[in-house]
Amino acid sequence: MVQIYSLIVGVGILQGAFGAPQPDADKAIQERQGYYFQNWSEGGSNIRCSNGQGGSFSANWNSRGGFVCGKGWSGGGARTIKYSGTYNATGPGYLAVYGWTRNPLVEYYILESYAELAPNEPWTSKGNFTIDEGTFEVFTSTRVNKPSIEGTRTFQQFWSVRSEKRVGGTVTTQKHFDEWAKRGMRLGRYDYVVMAVEGYTATGGGGSAGSASITLG
């Protein structure tokens, strides 16, 4: 079983050792104030995801497994996310706004920076758009019988990939949601959303390594 830990900062409630990324049965947390912290990994080694004070977190890794380390909000949806920090990586992985919706079950990414784009599922381009925060290309993909917030499921992934990588700035998620909707990409009921660092092993390739230190707000 993969391991994930969720912590609501300022409340002091910790959940651990449940299926990836977060099934309903284990999400019995009421968020009163503070941030939602995510630390998920599978099949990896030498991954350290640290929960800092306030809106900060850090990650250091050198691994052939997959992981997601991030901080944000439970019940996230349309948000204006401001962040700053550092991100240095090699191999497959991203610095991204990362979240889920239910009904339909969708995993979504707004990529701010990345080392290598090496998706394990085929991506389908849905074109480009430009907003005041940058220019992005939109993709969709489908994961078949993979871990999700509802257990092992088949689900879609939505992607906005920034053309000029950056580390720091403002991400207005509603602007991406609107562009996705124009392309027939329907989201469901919002679950959590985090500013996250992710690393993984590409099919037939190597793992990832790097470090990141991110602060929200």
The one catalytic residue in 31, 42, 107, 137 is 107
Partner residues linked to 96 by β-bridges: 111, 196
107 is catalytic: yes
Nearest to 96 by CA among 125, 87, 129: 87
Q: Which tokens hold the place of 29? A: 């947390």
CA distances (Å), origin 50, targets 24, 100, 108, 137, 170: 24, 22, 23, 31, 23
198 is catalytic: yes
The one catalytic residue in 112, 121, 137, 198 is 198
- Determine phi and psi for 74, rounding to 5 degrees: -80, 140
Which residues participate in catalysis according to the annotation? Answer: 107, 198
